[in-house]
Amino acid sequence: MSNIGWKDVLADEMSDDLAHEIDIFEGQMELMGQGKLDEKVFAETRLRRGVYGQRYDNGQRHDGFESRELAFDEKERIKGPDTLWHAPGMQRIKVPGGGLTPNQLDVLAQVADEYSDGILHITTRQDIQLHFVHIEDTPDMMRRLASVGITTREACGNSVRNVTCCHLAGVCRTEVFDATPYSEAFAEFLLGHDDVQDFGRKFKPAFSGCEAEACGLVMMHDIGYLAQIQEVDGNPRRGFKVYVGGGLGTVPHQAKVLSEFTPEEEILPLAQAVSRVFARLGEKRNRNRARIKFLVAKLGIEEFRRLVEEERKTLPHDDRWTAYMDTLPHYEEKPSRPPTFLNGQVRSSEFNQWFETNVYSQRQEGYSVVTVNLPLGDLTSQQTWELADIARKYVGDNVRSTVEQNIVLRWVSDSDLPNLYEELKAIGLGDPGAGTIVDITACPGTDTCKLGIASSRGLAGELRTRLTAKSASLPDAIKDLKIKISGCFNSCGQHHVSDIGFFGNSRRSGNFKMPHFQVILGGKWHDNAGSYGLAVGAVPSKTVPEVVDTITSRYVEERSKGETFQDWIGRIGKKEARNIIQPFMQLPAFEQDPEYFSDWGDPRVFSLGDIGIGECAGEVVSLFSMEISPAESEAFEAQVALDENDPARADALAYSSMLKAARALVRTQFLDVGDSPDRIVQEFKTRFFDTELFFDQYAKGKFGQYLLDRHSNGDPKPDNDAAHRLIEEALLFIEATHACESKVGGNVLVEI
Amino acid sequence: MIAPHRLSIKFFFDDFSVDVESFIPVFHRWIREDVVPNELLLDVADYKHIVDGPAILLVGHEADYVIDLTDGKPGLLYVRKRDVGSDLSSALGTTLSQALNGAKLTENDVELKGKLKLRTDGAAIVLLDRLNYPNAANGDGADSPAVAAQAQLSENLAAVFGDDATVTRVANHAREPLTFKLHAPSAPDVDTLLNRLGSGD
Ligand code: HEM
Ligand code: SF4
């Protein structure tokens, strides 16, 4: 029997930071298991590791007749409010800019088959999600991902989410310049940054290379960067037009221009200043108004801009703002094959059909981008490693996921296209129709989401099948329309920015509820999600395929030459649009048509009984609680190290846990304390020790002295006893930190 | 030998001509009626849009039941995920008897009865545990767990499926899980197998 775990096997393959963060998370899990962590703190902690709740994890499930309790073991054990420890959950894996390598794909496929249901799901923000994951498996999963440079940190929770970037950046024919290295620098800079730990809500960034296309979707993001070149003193300078305060959800907002031009060296400090303003002034209590869009709307963009500019002036200098720029001139992707042309090869009609929709000719002659059209954004582990091999053979590391839930292979040498197509087809990934009406986007919906009302994926699958069957006969005008579906008003499926969008809701007929979809028409994908669609009315879920047929047929009949779908909807107006769907709004009684009372792909009689509490808003817990929790985990790890007879490590961890606790306390007053132990101890001393704020009624300064003593001991050489003593002291110190925070907390001024 | 993190067994259908969608209501009913002993059934996942993969999953807490079309070979795949067992032998025992029980439930289901037959003369067995059972190539030095697992599986399976049952390793890529093929020309039917395992009715 072996006791060697992934932690040991991969020790040399993970970066120290990632490895340590995962150990801390594992320690926090352990503490939660012992009931030593607050449930909300743990919930937010795991969310910030991408460990998300999933439908039925409150232990209830409606079976079509009644709501039943699911007999999980240890029902008293939880991993957050109303969330059972043993219930499987979802793991979101961050993929900045969608960039993936074949080696990463291999490992993703492996963790999917060992820890989830063997399906990788691409999300609408270029992430990857695995479902039905048990929380015990998450640390090892994270280690395996870390070994290929992937982190799940801040994939969920009130944090900076995945930084998206056009999947065509760098090869696009219309971009100003390649936004990729900037989006990467942004993602790296803000990941785990001190100034992004105290948000009231999530914060989603996006980068785009050009204004007119859609890929970056900057207009619907909390912060969006649009590449620009400006003449400054006769020289072209790179920079970005910066948007802020966009977002979908129940109340969609178009982003406002924060700055017409921010030069490249200023984009990171600007993001930091925005983060600070958001952390300080953003709503924390009312989660429905906590996104930055509400702050921008409340203050007005001018005032918001003024505050950001003020904030910028006070930021302590950080070399990382511009460090990445040295690498920019060398940033380039390497094709793995020389450029060639598609001349003379025999082409099947199937290939031609695929070529028409799934191949984009790059700016670089002789190369193309191939879109692997994934049904509902899903692929199996086996398909994933087979795709990794195809990528190795044709494009090397040039693989990205897209916000339309597909994967692209970039830098395909043109003459390789026919063979590549055959190889994709052989693994079931050769579907044509990428970016067309059959390539439907859908959020997880009632399949796995705790907030899902109607089955967005069930509907998307049905529409895909029906539209694919007749795609050859579809008129050109409707072939390129986009359909996007969300399972509820939260709009994770981005229905606001599609030609024909749907979001799930429910209506009553007699004594029964019937799954419905609200119809949203005329949203704009182009112009970076340039405008949002009109809600025209709700129709029963089971009528949606007919509704789509009816709307598209009317459009084809009535459109004037060259009239886009948006223009047509704009012309006929909301009232007439509603008239089109009116015939579908009559609801049959249950006895007349029971089919209407169940959802696509789910024969259970429809109910809303399974809706749980979503975790999208994370838990609002204080910055202090979030920062002290890793200290506790480290003290715990120190005990483990001592049990393993490693006093040096135990001592180092105990000391580090005291520093973390002191830092958390100092940061309640002074956010910019930084990471240097000397600075932390000095600030702790002057602010809390010398002022006696830290003093205990009876023990006086004893607990604080533990840190001061250990810090001044440059060469501890601990034996088991000494390490044991330090661990005890660390635990007392952490306790005292809690006590001090609750004594002083709330009355302190935050300096910036 | 240590129990693998997960262990799966797939039995193949004879002449599969059922629309995979028809498993959806069946699986929902199984959950409602709590038909599987000692397992908590949770939900049904519909992946029929995926070509050549799992089509419909009955997701459980301890195990998943999958109508699996991978490699064009439709079968019932049983994936044991939790409470796998104390060692490889017991893991195999649990997985095999629960998988066969699943096969029996499927064949005898009121909605599926007479439409389906699972073959018992062959199966695919997968050890989903790259840490303890790396899929190292034969003879490369790191293959001792694979060799030992093969011997163990051969011994245990011959006792159930008959002396002529053989277990061979599938020569798949090292990144894939360690996979074996059971060939059991004289295997009896599901009930007899269950009886031999001591899990019959
Ligand atoms: C009140 C709660 C929620 C709100 C307001 C919300 C809102 C949104 C919005 C507006 C998007 C899409 C657009 C974008 O920003 O690009 C999104 C993305 C997404 N949401 Fe939600 N959501 C909520 C909860 C959930 C839940 C409970 C799930 C299911 C587990 C979920 C799953 C997703 C997924 C898979 C994405 C794709 C994005 C990613 O990778 O970050 N959301 N969410
Ligand atoms: S739109 Fe609603 S149903 Fe869909 S994932 Fe978001 S919260 Fe869940």
Q: Dig out the tokens for A496 from the structure.
A: 């606001």
A395 alpha-carbon distance from chain centroid: 26
Q: Dig out the tokens for A158 from the structure.
A: 């009130």
Instruction: Name the residue with tokens 């300080």.
Output: A280
The number of the ligand 2 atom at minimal distance from the alpha carbon of A504 is: 3
Hey, where are the domains in chain B? 6-196
Closest partner residue to B49 among A132, A382, A461, by Cβ?
Answer: A461
Q: Dig out the tokens for A701 from the structure.
A: 């300064």
Contacts of A349 (CB under 8 A, 6+ apart): none
Identify the CA nearest to A341 among candidates A413, A271, A392: A413
Distance CA A183, CA A170 (A): 12
Contacts of A304 (CB under 8 A, 6+ apart): A244, A245, A256, A258, A277, A295, A296
Mutate to test the pocket of ligand 2, among A121, A125, A449 (most ligand atoms within 8 A of CB): A449
A282 alpha-carbon distance from chain centroid: 20
To the question of domain A172-330 being in CATH 3.30.70.20, the answer is no
pLDDT band at A752, cuts 50/70/90? very low
Residues with CB under 6 A from ligand 1: A 52, 90, 92, 123-125, 127, 129, 161-162, 204, 248-249, 443-444, 449-451, 490-492, 494, 614-617
Q: Dig out the tokens for A493 from the structure.
A: 């499926």
Contact yes or no for A728/A654 (Cβ under 8 A): no
pLDDT at res. A2: 52
Distance CA A31, CA A630 (A): 10
Distance CA B179, CA B126 (A): 4
Residue A746 has pLDDT above 60, yes or no: no
Any idea what the Cα angle at residue B47 is, between residues B45 and B53, rounded to 5°? Answer: 125
Q: What is the ipTM of this complex?
A: 0.97
| Average pLDDT of the residues in A677-701 | 92
Specify the CATH superfamily of domain A623-744.
Nucleotidyltransferases  domain 2 (1.20.120.330)
Identify the CA nearest to A244 among candidates A252, A253, A235, A236: A253
Residue A679 has pLDDT above 50, yes or no: yes
Residue A528 has pLDDT above 90, yes or no: no
Q: What is the DSSP letter of B158?
A: H
pLDDT tens, residue by residue, A43-71: 989 999 999 999 999 999 999 999 999 99
Would you say the C-alpha torsion A266, A267, A272, A277 has a positive or negative sign? positive
| Average pLDDT of the residues in A691-706 | 89
The 3-state DSSP composition of chain B as helix, strand, coil percent (nearest 5) reads 30, 30, 40
3-state secondary structure A286-326: CHHHCCHHHHHHHHCHHHHHHHHHHHHHHCCCCCHHHHHHH
Contact yes or no for A514/A597 (Cβ under 8 A): yes
Contact yes or no for A581/A546 (Cβ under 8 A): no
pLDDT band at A707, cuts 50/70/90? very high
Partnered with residue A242 across adjacent β-strands are A225, A259
Residue B1 has pLDDT above 50, yes or no: yes
Residue B44 has pLDDT above 70, yes or no: yes
Distance CA A725, CA A111 (A): 40
pLDDT band at A616, cuts 50/70/90? confident
Name the pairing type of β-strands A602-605 and A598-599. Answer: antiparallel
pLDDT tens, residue by residue, A239-287: 999 999 999 987 788 899 999 999 999 999 999 999 999 999 998 887 7
> Which of these ranges, A147-156, A194-203, A325-334, A501-510, has the smallest mean pLDDT?
A325-334
Contact yes or no for B128/B5 (Cβ under 8 A): yes
Distance CA B187, CA A554 (A): 61
pLDDT at res. B201: 55
| Average pLDDT of the residues in A659-675 | 93
Contact yes or no for A418/A344 (Cβ under 8 A): no
Residue B111 has pLDDT above 70, yes or no: yes
| Average pLDDT of the residues in A226-242 | 94
Mutate to test the pocket of ligand 1, among A47, A51, A128, A616 (most ligand atoms within 8 A of CB): A616
Contact yes or no for B108/B118 (Cβ under 8 A): no
Chain B CB contacts of A595 below 8 Å: none
Q: What is the DSSP letter of A151?
A: -
* Residue of B81, B111, B152 for testing the chain A interface, max A β-carbons within 10 Å: B81
The amino acid that residue A363 corresponds to is R
Give B33 Cα–ligand 2 centroid separation in angstroms: 29
Task: Say whether B177 and A604 touch across the interface (CB within 8 A).
Answer: no
Determine the 3-state secondary structure of A659 from DSSP: helix
pLDDT at res. A1: 42
Closest partner residue to B46 among A134, A379, A601, by Cβ?
Answer: A601
pLDDT tens, residue by residue, A17-49: 999 999 999 999 999 988 889 999 999 899 999
| Average pLDDT of the residues in A457-463 | 98
Mean pLDDT of chain A: 92
The count of residues in chain B is 201
Using only C-alpha atoms, what is the Rg of chain B? Answer: 16
Contact yes or no for A538/A578 (Cβ under 8 A): no
**Same fold yes or no, A441-605 and A623-744:** no
For domain A441-605, give the CATH number. Answer: 3.30.413.10
More confidently predicted of A380 and A344:
A380
pLDDT band at A509, cuts 50/70/90? confident
| Average pLDDT of the residues in B41-47 | 97
| Average pLDDT of the residues in A426-449 | 96
Ramachandran region, residue A676 (left: φ > 0; alpha: ψ -120 to 50; beta: rest) = beta
Give A243 Cα–ligand 1 centroid separation in angstroms: 20
> Which of these ranges, A671-675, A682-686, A745-749, B118-122, has the smallest mean pLDDT?
A745-749
Q: What is each CA distance from B198 to A166, A471, A652, A669, B155, in whole angstroms?
A: 59, 54, 54, 67, 17
3-state secondary structure A598-655: EECCEEEECCCCCCCCCCCCCCCCCHHHHHHHHHHHHHHHHHHHHHCCCHHHHHHHHH
Distance CA A495, CA B27 (A): 31
* Top-level class of domain A349-426: alpha beta
Task: Say whether B43 and A428 touch across the interface (CB within 8 A).
Answer: no
Closest partner residue to B43 among A2, A56, A385, by Cβ?
Answer: A56
Residue B126 has pLDDT above 90, yes or no: yes
pLDDT at res. A750: 31
Instruction: Name the residue with tokens 């089919």.
Output: A595
pLDDT tens, residue by residue, A393-416: 999 999 999 999 999 999 999 999
Give B98 Cα–ligand 2 centroid separation in angstroms: 35
Distance CA B146, CA B149 (A): 5
Contact yes or no for A441/A405 (Cβ under 8 A): yes
The amino acid that residue B173 corresponds to is H
Task: Say whether B53 and A113 touch across the interface (CB within 8 A).
Answer: no
Closest partner residue to B42 among A70, A375, A447, by Cβ?
Answer: A70
pLDDT band at A619, cuts 50/70/90? confident
Distance CA B14, CA A531 (A): 54
Determine the 3-state secondary structure of A322 from DSSP: helix
pLDDT at res. A477: 92
Residue A295 has pLDDT above 50, yes or no: yes
The amino acid that residue A258 corresponds to is L
Residue A637 has pLDDT above 90, yes or no: no
Number of separate helices (H) and strands (E) present in chain B: 4, 8
Taking CA–CA distances from A388, the nearest residue in chain B reads B175
Residues with CB under 6 A from ligand 2: A 443-445, 449, 451-452, 456, 486-488, 490-493, 614
pLDDT band at A429, cuts 50/70/90? very high
Contacts of A386 (CB under 8 A, 6+ apart): A427
State the DSSP string of B97-130: HHHHHHHHHHHH-TTTTTT-EEEEEEEEEEEE-T
Chain B CB contacts of A428 below 8 Å: 50-53
Residue A622 has pLDDT above 90, yes or no: no
Q: Dig out the tokens for A247 from the structure.
A: 């977002």
| Full-model pTM | 0.91
Name the phi and psi angles at A74, rounded to 5: 40, 60
Give the percent of chain A with pLDDT over 90.
Answer: 76
Task: Say whether B46 and A447 touch across the interface (CB within 8 A).
Answer: yes
The amino acid that residue B195 corresponds to is N
Distance CA A280, CA A295 (A): 11
Closest Cα in chain A, distance from residue B6 (Å): 7
Instruction: Name the residue with tokens 């399972």.
Output: A487
Instruction: Name the residue with tokens 């405008």.
Output: A531
The number of the ligand 2 atom at minimal distance from the alpha carbon of A444 is: 5
Closest partner residue to A378 among B28, B49, B132, by Cβ?
Answer: B49
Q: Dig out the tokens for A131 from the structure.
A: 């479902």
